[in-house]
Structure 1
């Protein structure tokens, strides 16, 4: 497995470069822009897009969850490079929206870079990585049904981002926080779905 490269702010800069001079951008171009940096940066950055204005586009959280699920399966299987099917790579996003989302995340990324560091690295090793992958896949399965509940998809995505940050910074404390957060995300997600079903009935 490759070493994760760069800080979160560096990863956002990589995405910006992929958007330069384009009215729209294919998802494959963004995936390729993150590929050489490793899985941690991708799993830390992409879920945060759901928290930005672009996350409010109907269907975007599910599209994002599918992309992240493919990357997570690749990580779990031990593949070094990213991959996505052509139909997913060809999915286009308006560059203006993505740029605004990246700009929205920049101040947050600088604060994260200043605070996080390698801690409890034993909890960020290969065993924890595999366990995190399984938990992440479970969280991503929740996203499509949760789109019917306002803001509910943010919970699973935040937890996925926490795992990604744990991998990026080799921060075992964040990995442990991710496992704890996953429990709350599942509970509140189920609660939201039950509440939504009850109100519609």
Structure 2
């Protein structure tokens, strides 16, 4: 078992702390790989949480290209889980993509208060949705969300809805909370449906 696996995240607040404290090789920007290394790449939950939070955050998720970049990460991770992999490979060119750390730090500060409220609402329940076959269902829905995310860049606020759904899926897996997974499934359907209607 890797060190990343042993130090599993306890909730959204801890994930925000780890992203904010991630070592940075650039004075102006923070790389995706640096964020993932800080939160751990050993399990599916954190690898959904990072793109979900980044896409949801104000100032960051609205930067052109960021939703598509996060979609690529989700496609790779969810796709690998669907074909049976338990360790995840990510290309260096993707890990080297970056966002301005000034905007990220301000957005993380804004997110801390709601994160504490969210963490208090997490607990094990409806666990059949977050284990075994339920994990594959979540991976499939995340894959579908990621396919739609590039189109969401032209529909205002829809990418933020996708980010919220990904964040909820990640939290549900980390906390073994199937209620959050169920709510994320509903949100996914509503968000994708709204994008389809907007583009018709």
TM-score, scaled to structure 2:
0.86
* 1:28 matched to 2:33: yes
Corresponding position of 2:61? 55
CA pair 190-36 structure 1, distance change in 2 beyond 3 A: closer
Displacement of 1:36 in angstroms is 5.0
The structure whose residues are more often helix, as a share, is 1
- Contact map agreement 1:49 1:101 (CA 8 A) in 2: no
Equivalent residues in 2 for 1:106-185 (5 A)? Answer: 106-185=112-191
CA deviation string 1:144-174 (max 9, x = no partner): 1121122222222222222111111101111
Counterpart check, 1:187 vs 2:193: yes
**Pair 148,55 (structure 1): closer, same or farther in 2 beyond 3 Å:** same
- The alignment partner of 1:150 has SS state of coil
Q: Deviations over 1:108-132 (max 9, x none)?
A: 1111111111112122211011011
* Unmatched segments (≥5 aa) in structure 1: 195-201
**Number of aligned residues:** 194
Worse overlay, 73-82 or 180-189:
73-82
Q: Return the TM-score normalized by structure 1.
A: 0.86
Equivalent-residue separation in structure 1 for 2:38 and 2:131 (angstroms): 25
SS of the counterpart of 1:25? strand
SS at match of 2:61: helix
> What's the C-alpha RMSD, in Å, of the aligned pairs?
2.2
Moved more, 106-115 or 38-47: 38-47
1:14 aligns with 2:18: yes
CA distance in 1, matches of 2:23, 2:74: 20
